[in-house]
Every structure is written in structure tokens, then in C-alpha cells.
């Protein structure tokens, strides 16, 4: 549905209603997911619940990544066509992915399902396009704020390359596709 959005006229109310329903459904799913962090431990003899808020839960991070990727996929083509709302949605959602990826890197949680790593490529692309857009617009200060996020993703690909060949291959392709990031900004 996201791929058809840029070519669909505003008058096609049926399409846009479905688009909005799908977007709303993805947001509801995302909002209903259990925490991506370790769940509270309940013990019968205690009067309170101990909550670990910083440690990622290896099981519950997967649906978070999938829901975020679904939202980006839905909005990406429309964002590329200049729709401000979809652009902002892609940037905001990509940053949420980077927050989780940062924890994956910091906690060195080991192997991640390769399908999830594949989704990180789109997040990398969203942020790279935003970096380029800001540089072209002369807003180098805001463009520089994206560099640490790209570095986190690059580190994550390198870390996952130890566990699966796909991550290493994806990192190689990103290096080829974005030589400016490698040569001038030291992302890779």
C-alpha cells in the first residue's frame, strides 16, 4: 500500500481511508506491545515489584522492530514524494529503532534474527537521506546530529556480522552505496 501512495490521487478516498486505517492499526499494535526491556519480576514474598528498565528483553524487542519497520515501509514512498507528515513519521520511527539498536550494541546481546537486521538497512537509508537533505538545505548543524545515529547502526551491523553473514553483506553494500559516509564522516 505504501508503494502505491505517491501515485494515488487525493480523490481516491477509499485508498486513503485504508492507508489511514493501516497506519492506525500499526500504531495500535506498537502501543500495545509489552516493553522492549526486561519484564518486572513478581515474587510472592515481596511487597513491591522490581523492575529492570535498562536491560533489553531479547524476545520482546523483535515485535517492536517489526512494528517500527512496518510504519516506515508504509510511509517511505510518500515521504520521498515530499509528504511532510510521512517524512516526519519515517524520521521519528527511525530514531525509535536507533534507540533500541543502541541498547543492542551497548548490551552486546548477541545474535539478532537476520530479518530484523535487514530492516535496519531501511532505517539507515531514511537517516542518510535526511542527512543529505539537511546538508543540501545548508543546515549542517542538524545534519551533524544524525551522524551518531548512523554510527550506532554501523556498529550494530559490524556486531551482527559475527553471527550471520547477512549483516556483513549488508554493511558492505551500505559502504558501496554511501562512500561519502565512509570517506568523509568515518561512519564505517
Would you state the pLDDT for residue 43? Answer: 59
Cell 559475527 belongs to which residue?
162
- The DSSP-derived string for 49-84 is -B---SSBPTTTHHHHHHHHHHHHHHHHHHHHTT-H
SS3 41: strand
Note if the pTM is more than 0.75.
yes
Q: C-alpha distances in angstroms, 139 versus 58, 69, 135, 143?
A: 38, 27, 6, 6
95-123, pLDDT tens digit by residue? Answer: 999 999 999 999 888 888 888 999 999 99
Angstrom distance (rounded) from CA 173 to CA 137:
27
Q: How confident is the model at residue 57 (pLDDT cuts 50, 70, 90)?
A: confident
Runs of H (alpha helix) within 81-113: 84-107
Closest by Cα among 162, 170, 37, 168 to 110: 162
139-167, pLDDT tens digit by residue? Answer: 999 999 999 999 999 999 999 999 999 99
Please say if the pLDDT value at position 26 is more than 90: yes
CA angle 75, 179, 164 (to 5 degrees): 70
Grid cell at residue 135: 546538508
Mean pLDDT, all residues of the chain: 89
Task: Determine contact, residues 142/92, Cβ cutoff 8 Å.
Answer: no
Amino acid at each position: 500500500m505504501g508503494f502505491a501512495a505517491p501515485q494515488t490521487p487525493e480523490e481516491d478516498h477509499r485508498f486513503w481511508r485504508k492507508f489511514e486505517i493501516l497506519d492506525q492499526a500499526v500504531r495500535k499494535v506498537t502501543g500495545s506491545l509489552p516493553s522492549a526491556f526486561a519484564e518486572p519480576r513478581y515474587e510472592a514474598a515481596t511487597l513491591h515489584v522490581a523492575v529492570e528498565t535498562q536491560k533489553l528483553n531479547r524476545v520482546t524487542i523483535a515485535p517492536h522492530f517489526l512494528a517500527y519497520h512496518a510504519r516506515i515501509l508504509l510511509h517511505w514512498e510518500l515521504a520521498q514524494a515530499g509528504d511532510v507528515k510521512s517524512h516526519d513519521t519515517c524520521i521519528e520511527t527511525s530514531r525509535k529503532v536507533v534507540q533500541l539498536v543502541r541498547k543492542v550494541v551497548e548490551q552486546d546481546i548477541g545474535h539478532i534474527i537476520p530479518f530484523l537486521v535487514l530492516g535496519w538497512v531501511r532505517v539507515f537509508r531514511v537517516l542518510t537521506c535526511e542527512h543529505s537533505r539537511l546538508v543540501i538545505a545548508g543546515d549542517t548543524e542538524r545534519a551533524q546530529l544524525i551522524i551518531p545515529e548512523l554510527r550506532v547502526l554501523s556498529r550494530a551491523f559490524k556486531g551482527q556480522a559475527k553471527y550471520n553473514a547477512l549483516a556483513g553483506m549488508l554493511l558492505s553494500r551500505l559502504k558501496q552505496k554511501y562512500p561519502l559516509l565512509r570517506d568523509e564522516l568515518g561512519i564505517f
